[in-house]
Chains A and B, each alone.
Chain A
Amino acid sequence: MKIEWLSIDRVRPYPHNPRKNIETIDKVKTSIQRYGFNQPIVVDPQMFIVVGHTRYAAAKELGLAEVPVVIADLDEKRARAYRIMDNKAHDFTRWDVVDLKKEIEKLPDVEATGFSLKQLDDILFPELALIGKNNQHRRQHHIIVECASREDMNAVETLIRGKGFKRCRQSWH
């Protein structure tokens, strides 16, 4: 393994990355600004990102010229599989709310941890706790609605959004 500092322009996001990270970029930006770039971006020999799309996006937004990179000797399919597996592994990890609370209470700047005040209230006042309720690993729950046409899909989306489901994506092929 070798860590190289390379021009950020040489690193390429993987166009079919199945992990979406738009909502994580701000936290990672804060992390880089406060604590530095501690975890290199892993790329395949074609320089496509395998691990670290969020770090890359955050570095771009921060205007960093160079990023630390590890070039992994993986062929295309293995890089694609590892890209999924690295994210999947994270899904199995969960908080121990009791220990998390102990840690957070010791910190002078609790919001530095990435938790919002509301979420911290939930942890610090366990009667309100929502986090850590289930011991299962994190799951995503989707409903996929079959629609007759593009117009139908638009109409269904409006109705479903009206019910409070804000995360909808259209898909057609």
Chain B
Amino acid sequence: MRIGVFFETYRGEEQLWDSPAAKAWLALFALAMLLLPWWGSDYIVAMACIVGIHLVATLGLNITTGGAGLISLSHAAFMGVGCYAVSWFARWGLPFYLALPLAGMLAALIGMLVGLPSLRVKGMYFAIATLAAHFVLGFLFREWTPVTGGPRGVTIPPASLFGLELTGDRRMFYLIYACALALGIAAANLGRSYVGRAFIAVRDRDISAEILGVDLLRTKVLAFMTGAFYAGVAGGLLGYFYGAITSEYFTFSLSVFYLAAIIVGGMGRVLGSVLGAVFMTLVPECLRLLSSATSAWMPSLANLLLPMGQVVFGLLIIGFLILEPHGLAQIWARIRRTFHLWPFRT
């Protein structure tokens, strides 16, 4: 609650902004994003597309792990399922607005299978069971050649909207961010619904939730399926974006990357997913730019780019966990609170 902000209608309380100033900033941001393919260079648009794909996946993981407390180490594998599914649907001629949701649903189905043990197996055992699932799915990606193309991978024909082919980053940008926007609003609404509150109840104390009437198995499996759906859609977008994908892309490190994104961003909040995805994608890029900028007078630094990136990654995670466990979203909220009535103190 902030001073000077009070709602007069129920409608007002449900809005995504909480003051006219916030509304104005949001509108400005939306306009800038809409026009990004115009004012952005190729590089910026490409980075924005990659950030968008990571954003969709992070939103999903934040529902499963941040919302319902189920640690999922197999998120990257679900992305793979979505990607391969899209390659098949697209080859059968399905347009992207059918292929993407269907791929998501297929990933959700696999997510249901992985999430089923969650009633019997809890906590760390469950996390490692998801790790086992990740390895099994990875094995299928590599070996099941008729479906996944084996180590060669698959190619995905570009998406097309009523005959207009969505080739090139500038067009894919709109597709990716349309999906991200829709799924982000869905995630926010989920948090405010009965299902979302059930997730949080299960996260905090599942025995108490069960006593209160929440069906544990259904809720946990639903949380897993939702996260997997998002991952599947993200995988499909990845396929459309790259056009060709091999099984080497969906590694355990990718799952760890998404976990880091939700920790750094803030677990359980949509804004946390956004900030986390942006931050985690841009930090390695910034490091790379930094090392190439300083490569003139410190050439050996370039050789250390990847290990330095890992060190920074590790320090970031540990730093955030020790200093700000609620992530960037909390820092953001604090900054907003400070500036809300600036220069007056609250």
Q: Does A associate with B in a complex?
A: no
